[in-house]
Amino acid sequence: MWLPTSGKHRDFIERYLTLHDRYTAGELGEEEWRTWAQRQLRAVVALAQEGSPFYARHLAGVPAGRLTLDDVRSLPFTTKDHLRTAMSDVLSRDLDEACFFYETTGTTGPATPCPRDPREVIASNAHVTESWRNIFTDVFGDRAPRVGVMGPTEVHSLGDTLGDVARNVGSAVAKIWPYSPVIGFPKALQLMRDLALDVVFCTPNVALSLARAAREQGLDPRRDFAVKVFLVTGEMCTPDLARQIDQAWGARTYNALYGSQETLVIASACAHGRLHLARPNYIAELVDPDTGAALGDRGTGELVVTMLIDGIKPLIRYRTGDLVELSDNVCGCGIRGPVMRVVGRTRDRIVLGGHSFQAWQIEQAVLRRIDHSYGYQVVIDRAEDGEDLITVRLDLPDGRVQGPGPVRSSSAGEGAVSGAVGSKAEEGVMAEPSRLTTTPEAAVPDAVTPRGNSVQGLEAAHAARVADALGVRCRVELPSELDPVTTTGAFVSWKAARIHDRRAPIDHETAAARRLAGARGHRA
């Protein structure tokens, strides 16, 4: 593990790594964790009050030295708007103490500073290291796999963080960013083959765009590459989307980690495919996203975190804006910490037909019974009769739309009862919601369409399934290529990338996604 050569942080690092070793070994009891968390809470609040102009005002009058864990819920929230307004005033230590300087992407507002010092780096990376060890041992045994890291490196933490983690587990790492003008997709694919990369860390979109680009070069991702694991992050990836990656590459896909530039890595994956909270580093709470009312530390709600590492930018009661589900750890994987499932951003809720849907519900409805897709987009219109109408656009150049019949769980290499589809639809297939409580799959009829073939019948079946799941009329289209805006989810939001809502004016996130999409594409 990387350690600073200076003795400045030695006491903290020795204390932390001793605690971490006991935590990962399952030897850290609840009372010992509470003692650690309370001591760190007091240290963080005292540091912030003294060193941060923002927190000196925000936490004025809070008795840092007497705080208990039960007092956390009485502290005021920190929000994204606070960070954008206060900027460097949020920092609790001088930049001279940083070992890295990063920023948020700044695609939807001012980029906020996110420097890190050795305390924060070591504490965060320690948990990601355990995650990789757990997964790699399960997949590769004693062999250290070769890892490709595909993400931005300019004032972004991804490359530095994962480079350190790769060294911690003994893996060779290649930093390859397909959207860089220096690399591009052809060079990225060449390096993946030449280096026989075993593991690729990227966004779900990059994983699927690489597969599409490989196909266009006459390559078979399953046969011509060595990749066995995709570690994905940066945008929502439901099991249905992960299945598309698995099928394209013959690999296993893991939601690798959850966090941000501001909060570092809050949770990381295990070999069983679940995210685990890095509990020594955070106090996690759940609140009602609309009212802010406390919901406890188990169940579903907006995640609020208080960072327990007294580094340069510890955030106190920070509202992440993400809906998550926290549950007790009964995973059996060997990784400690509560299990976390990310539901989606609080702002990514979509109202269709008078009902509110979370992002994962829409993605699940769109990709259920879809195989070998490279992506999707949902267009929402208001019909002349005032009802909502959605158009599902699927990138299925060599994919499958499953017909009626039982859903079959397919992992890498497993097929399904399906029919081949063409590369372009002249006109979509419209389906009405059944308005029934349940609709047997066998009751969904094939449709007579302008193309008049069995493929259109399968499209009609899928349109009917989506219509029933979401309660609105649905059309399915198979364009030759999706709008490049669908590639921007990791930099803007799932909603801006995947949803084109024509019922309302373009918002600032959608505008930002469209600007960013102008120079993107897997042929770059």
Could you give the CA distance from residue 479 to residue 270 in angstroms, rounded to a whole number?
Answer: 37
- Confidence band for 446, pLDDT divided at 50, 70 and 90: very low
Token reading at 180? 């860089």
Alpha helices in 61-200 (DSSP H): 80-86, 118-140, 158-169, 184-194
Would you place residue 495 in the very low, low, confident or very high pLDDT band (cuts 50, 70, 90)?
Answer: confident
Q: Annotate 245-264 with b (16+ C-beta within 10 A) or e (fewer).
A: bbbbbbbbbbbbbbbbbbbb
The CA radius of gyration of the chain, in Å to the nearest whole number, is: 24
User: DSSP letter at 516?
Assistant: H
Amino acid at 86: A
pLDDT, position 455: 53
CA 395 to chain centre: 21
In the sheet with 400-402, reading across from the earlier edge strand, the strands are: 370-371, 400-402, 418-420
Model pLDDT for residues 201-216, shown as the tens digit of each residue:
999 999 999 999 999 9
Who has greater pLDDT, 236 or 91? 91
Mean pLDDT confidence for 186-194: 97
User: What's this model's pTM, rounded to 2 decimal places?
Assistant: 0.87
- Number of residues assigned to the chain: 524
Residue 419 parent element (H or E): strand 418-420
Which is it for strands 370-371 and 400-402: parallel, antiparallel or unpaired? antiparallel
| C-alpha triplet 175, 176, 178: angle, nearest 5° | 155
Residue with tokens 């060779």: 172
Q: Residue 519: its pLDDT value, please? A: 58
Strand partners, 431: 474
122: which residues sit within 8 A by CB, 6+ positions away?
A: 1, 2, 3, 13, 16, 17
Average pLDDT, the chain: 87
Q: Closest Cα partner for 297 from 345, 330, 258, 337?
A: 337
Q: Which residues contact 447 (CB under 8 A, 6 or more apart)?
A: 429, 431, 456, 457, 459, 460
Distances (CA, A) of 510 to 131, 417, 486, 506, 517: 34, 37, 11, 6, 10
How far from the centroid of its chain's Cα atoms is residue 496's Cα?
15
Residue 453 is predicted with a pLDDT of 40
Q: What pLDDT score does 66 carry? A: 97
- The pLDDT assigned to 145 comes to 98
Residue 421: pLDDT band (50, 70, 90) is very low
Highest mean pLDDT pick, 7-16, 92-101, 395-404: 92-101
Report d(CA 514, CA 184) in Å as an integer. 20
Run of H or E including 175: strand 173-175
Give ∠ CA 206-399-366 in degrees, rounded to 5.
75
Measuring CA to CA, how many Å separate 149 from each of 1, 27, 163? 18, 33, 8
CA distances from 161 to 90, 129, 153, 173 (A): 22, 10, 10, 12
Which residues are within 8 A (CB) of 26 and not within 5 positions of it... i.e. 6 or more apart? 336
Residue 319 CA to residue 284 CA, distance in Å, equals 10
Q: What percent of the chain has pLDDT over 90?
A: 69
**Burial category of 97 from C-beta neighbours within 10 Å (exposed 0-12, middle 13-18, buried 19 and up):** middle
Q: Are 294 and 73 in contact (CB under 8 A)?
A: yes
459: its two tokens: 């499209």
CB neighbours of residue 444 within 10 Å: 21
Q: How would residue 4 be classed by pLDDT, with cut points 50, 70 and 90?
A: low
Note the pLDDT tens digit of each residue in 247-289: 999 999 999 999 999 999 999 999 999 999 999 999 999 999 9
- SS3 state of residue 75: coil
How far, in whole angstroms, is CA 293 from its chain's centroid? Answer: 25
What confidence tens digit (pLDDT) does each residue in 447-468 have?
Answer: 323 333 445 677 888 999 999 9
Decide the pairing of beta strands 299-307 and 294-296.
unpaired
Contact assessment for residue 421 and residue 461, using Cβ atoms and an 8 Å cutoff:
no
